[in-house]
Amino acid sequence: MIEHAISIPKERVVILDFGSQYTQLIARRIREMNVYAEIVPFFHPLADIQKEMPAAIILSGGPSSLYEKGAPRVDEGIFRLGVPVLGICYGLYLVVNAFRGSSEAAKSKEYGRAVINIAGKSPLFTGLRKKETVWMSHGDKVVAPPRGFTVLASSENAEIAAIGDESKKIYGVQFHPEVYHTVNGGRVLKNFLFRICGLKPTWTMRSFIETSVEAIKQEVGDGTVLLGLSGGVDSSVTAMLLQRAIGDRLYCVFVDNGVLRKDESRKVIERFRKHMKLNLIHVDASKRFLGKLKGVEEPEKKRRIIGREFIEVFMEEAKKIGRFDFLAQGTLYPDVIESVSTKGPSDTIKSHHNRVPEVLKLIKSGKVIEPLKELFKDEVRELGRELGMADELVRRHPFPGPGLAIRIIGEVTPQRIKILQEADDILITEIREAGLYDLLWQIFAVFLPVRSVGVMGDKRTYENVIAIRGVTSVDAMTADWAYLPEGILRKISNRIINEVKGINRVVYDISSKPPSTIEWE
């Protein structure tokens, strides 16, 4: 079910994704309870699920109505596996439909906060009050529960807001327990996991390390692994995990693609070769990358070019090594979900450099190891601490694989790179000195190919604009723009305009994700 070098705990929950914006939250809440959860698309083969029998199955919500043409359906064999099932929102209707209950379009739709009235006693609602505040998002309603199912809760607009068959251990709830607005949603999920499914909270980062190291050893055997090391958190944690598993058969290739932060090459070489003792190969391919990017303005084309060039550089270095069995990447879950719809009926948002066709071809052939591909960013940081990495490195803000190329809107030129490097360096320096760096998920500068009139030294200027993007987030799936003190913004703006030649205006991005993405391209 999961691809290469990923450890699969014996006790795990499989979440079938029907396109809900909250599906990732379900996985996160469950993992926070120290139970491993993985997300697969609703059309994932039943035979594969049965082969690796999960301890429980959750059917996510989704934007569809069961009555729409082409609405996603569940293989009803899921309910014959003999494992507990919890249907959430749209998942409730799948349960009702599978067991021949009755539902219809509701006259009054229910979105946002609502109050449910819990009826009787059920292990799903143990410890909850008779009235609970929950988060609803539905336009249909259940009018008759299936035979053998009991009505467990109701609301003003949903006479049947939760159902359950205790003997089959199959449940459905109209509300979203995974959302923070459902006051005791965590208690509902805990009841399902521990009271109904009988699971134990044994999945931790320490156990993840142990099982992942063993999985990597089995996968690699006596082979060699080539890892693209950028110096960021993801690739660094991947390197440490691989080094623990296979030692000096790991070759870390650090490629200077010409679109890195100021002084990044020197810092990476010093940190990983000198202090961490990694088998590091440094390749200065900046001229090569910039040559390929010349004249290119379209964001997706930039990403594809950089991804393709990375693979070619890796292959060339592999030949020099003399033996290359696997390519390793520090791919995270958000990278996968935003690149392609492999996890469910979600739209592709943007491709990532580690999901370009050349990489996907290697993945299909079984030549790619991605030990972090089911983890969220905060989980990777926790993993890094468990591996003994320095806190400064673990807390480092994300930096995109395509680097500054996607923070320069339009064509990437040496002059624009230099301007952005200087502006970004000033920004990060001031944010660190203000004690704000660790409070932010990410903050960075963006070069805009927009020229505006200014006045400097009593002379008219006509220069470019730098945009600052600062956000707070937990896992990068959603993000809010960060409020920064006026004094800090003023100092950053003054320094950039006064010290960076070619910039006469600084603006601050106040859009959240969604609808915007964190990166501009």
Give the best-scoring range by mean pLDDT among 5-19, 229-243, 283-297, 380-394: 283-297
- Give the range among 53-67, 265-279, 334-348 with minimum mean pLDDT: 334-348
> For residue 341, what pLDDT is reported?
42
DSSP-assigned letter for residue 356: S
Mean pLDDT confidence for 133-159: 89
> For residue 429, what pLDDT is reported?
97
> For residue 461, what pLDDT is reported?
80
Q: Which amino acid is at 470?
A: G
Does the pLDDT of residue 392 top 90, yes or no? no
Does the pLDDT of residue 345 top 90, yes or no? no
| Catalytic residue chosen out of the listed positions 38, 110, 132, 178 | 178
Contacts of 12 (CB under 8 A, 6+ apart): 35, 36, 37, 38, 54, 55, 203
Q: Which H helix or E strand runs over 212?
A: helix 205-220
Does the pLDDT of residue 4 top 50, yes or no? no
Question: Has 178 been annotated as catalytic?
Answer: yes
Backbone angles phi, psi at 247, to 5 degrees: 60, -135
Between the alpha carbon of residue 341 and those of residues 71, 334, 405, the distances in Å are 17, 11, 25
| Catalytic residue chosen out of the listed positions 176, 219, 252, 374 | 176
By the 8 A CB rule, do 149 and 163 touch?
Answer: yes
Distance CA 242, CA 226 (A): 10
Does the pLDDT of residue 446 top 90, yes or no? yes
Does the pLDDT of residue 80 top 90, yes or no? yes
Between residues 393 and 342, the one the model is more confident about: 393
Contacts of 476 (CB under 8 A, 6+ apart): 334, 376, 377, 398, 441, 518
Query: What is the torsion angle, in degrees rounded to the nearest 10, for the CA atoms of residue 306, residue 251, residue 332 and residue 17?
Result: 100
By the 8 A CB rule, do 426 and 495 touch?
Answer: yes
Mean pLDDT confidence for 173-188: 93
Does the pLDDT of residue 368 top 90, yes or no? no
Between residues 311 and 174, the one the model is more confident about: 174
- Write the burial class of residue 455 (CB in 10 Å: 0-12 exposed, 13-18 middle, 19+ buried): exposed
Q: What is the per-residue pLDDT across 31-42, written as a single tens digit (0 to 9) for each?
A: 999 999 988 899
Between residues 495 and 346, the one the model is more confident about: 495
Does the pLDDT of residue 107 top 70, yes or no? no
Distance CA 6, CA 331 (A): 12
Provide the sign of the torsion angle of the four alpha carbons 419, 307, 218, 343, taken in this order: positive
Q: What is the per-residue pLDDT across 91-103, written as a single tens digit (0 to 9) for each?
A: 999 999 999 998 8
> For residue 24, what pLDDT is reported?
85
| Catalytic residue chosen out of the listed positions 4, 38, 89, 353 | 89
Please give the mean pLDDT across all residues of the chain.
88
Strands 480-481 and 503-508, sheet pairing: unpaired
> For residue 3, what pLDDT is reported?
45
Distance CA 82, CA 59 (A): 15
> For residue 342, what pLDDT is reported?
39
> For residue 493, what pLDDT is reported?
97
Does the pLDDT of residue 50 top 60, yes or no? yes
Mean pLDDT confidence for 45-51: 93
Q: What is the per-residue pLDDT across 451-506, written as a single tens digit (0 to 9) for each?
A: 888 877 667 788 999 999 999 987 777 789 999 999 999 999 999 999 999 999 99
By the 8 A CB rule, do 54 and 143 touch?
Answer: no
Between residues 123 and 10, the one the model is more confident about: 123
Question: Has 89 been annotated as catalytic?
Answer: yes
Q: What is the per-residue pLDDT across 296-344, written as a single tens digit (0 to 9) for each?
A: 999 999 999 998 998 888 788 878 877 678 889 888 876 665 554 434 4
Which of these, 264, 258, 369, 282, lies nearest to 2 by C-alpha position? 369
Q: At what angle do helices 233-246 and 377-386 cross, to 10 degrees?
A: 40
Mean pLDDT confidence for 431-451: 96
Between residues 113 and 465, the one the model is more confident about: 465
Taking phi over 0 as left and psi of -120 to 50 as alpha, with beta for the rest, 397 belongs to: beta
Mean pLDDT confidence for 221-236: 89
* Alpha helices in 221-368, H assignment, sequence order: 233-246, 264-268, 286-293, 299-321, 333-339, 357-365
